[in-house]
Chain A
Amino acid sequence: MSKSRIEGAVQSKTRLSDRYNAWLRHHRLSAADSLHRVLDNLVASLMTWLVIGIAMALPVGLDVALDNATELSAGWDSPSQISLFLKEGQDSASAETLVREIEARDDVAGVHFVSREDALAEFSALSGFADVLASLEKNPLPNLLLVTPVASLVGTAIDGLRSQLAQREEVAEAVLDMEWLQRLNSIMQLSRRLVMAIGGLLILGVVLILGNTIRLSIENRREEIVIVKLVGGSNPFVRRPFLYTGLWYGVGGGFFAALLVSLSLWFLESPVSELAALYQSDFELEGLGMMGALNLLILGGLLGLAGAWLAVTRHLAAIQPR
């Protein structure tokens, strides 16, 4: 050994820029090394990715479904409709008179008359009970007026119109069709809350699963950690590869979640458009989109880091050379 090599030991107290480069180098090294380890155990890693993917796909898939349902029902919000069921024994002529009278009101945009004969024909065509209905002695359906209020009429004013119309002697019952829509909206809000709660639980699950996976890989490399600490590896140095392992598991899980959601949507696409065609709608399923998929990857990565952090802070400090 020459004298200059001994002086090298003094130079090993590195400058700030050298230390930054060293830090960067070790990040690159840890990232590559942990990716290698994840890919080397491909079957085990695939399992982990799938578990995380499924756990993330569930709430995300439900959320996408709810988005689509919201999209679909947005078209139904207004105008609402009041159904007037007329009393029995009214002939078509008096119904026509009633139609004209109601149409004349300022707060009504339009009235559509469905005669009991038309209603029976439609019902037997759509319900599949044609035979049963044909065997009935008389038509059980009443005449129906569908009243559409003007668009400016909202909330309680619509209800006011409904009760005014209900008081007319020809009318047996007046039903505001808004009600089912309001119910639908509250059901959707409830569902959204449920999805959020399930999502929160599953996210917690993902973090714990990843934490446990990282804990196992820490246990597997216990001897290595001891040796690295013996020759002067700091806690951040030892921690880094495990954090990257968590990151790779999380990002992979996010990828599989995006894949699962896209596959499910693709699987549902043709029946949904068939159904939409039956309702004369051109509704199409809205997918995750590029941003949604990217967000899943990022979310997965963050969850992976969180899980790994949980594991390393709990288990790494406890491993000391003895």
Chain B
Amino acid sequence: MSKNMKISERLGALSIKNVTKVYDPEGVNVKAVDNCSMEIEGGEVCMIVGPSGCGKTTLLNSIAGFHSITEGSIHLDNELLCGPEKPIAAQGADRMVVFQHGALFPWKTLQENVAYGPTVQKTLGAKEAMSKAGDMLAEAGLGNFLTRYPGEVSSGMARRAEIVRALINDPKVLLLDEPYRAMDALTKQIMHESLLETYDRTGVTIFFITHDLEEAIFLGDKVHIVTTRPCQLKKTVEVKIPRPRSYETQSSEDFRKLLAEVNEAVHEEAVKAFQAGERELA
């Protein structure tokens, strides 16, 4: 349904204005994000690329409501999430996070995990939630693994189930924090295709953090390159490769050109980050 709508008409527009975040462990101020602004339209796939430990995750955490911001404001569809009056956003099911190390509850089966959201929000009864979870997992190709625990399936399957757990709540924005970081290239490819397929189906806004440049261009509508700590927006690259995309896209001339462009911008920051040698913040 959302396929035919223009991007700007869809829900889930994120507006990040002049956000600054200062950590002060033991009185030493560390600026993780400095005066960072971005506009993300509803239904856009927005990729954030930057060196390790630069403060990308901090930005994601402030959107999700995991921690406060020091200055600036973040709006979702013109509603204030957090700003000067309200430093920490309320956590809610309109913004779903998929975590770097995976956060499926290891003590619940895949189906129970997916059914958890609707059950605790009481949007569905326990039984309906379970059956809907089963349907959605089957749709994602996990129909044979409903009663398995996350510890029993491959990391790829677990991550796919985690995305299903997020989507069952009809979120406006999907926040992904390097979800495919620990995967081998071949599995990653499959995960990318599955995410693109999901996106084409739902049109949910995606805020995706990565430092894999090919991943960024392959998946994204826009690639925001951010500087090393403190995190600031350095450059935005628009990816005008038409959808639906397949893995052949990656060998096209356009793709190579974009890759070179992004790489150039990122490399300098990566060198700076490496030389600073600081330990990554949470």
Question: Do A and B bind?
Answer: no
- Contacts from B to A (Cβ < 8 Å): none
- Contacts from A to B (Cβ < 8 Å): none
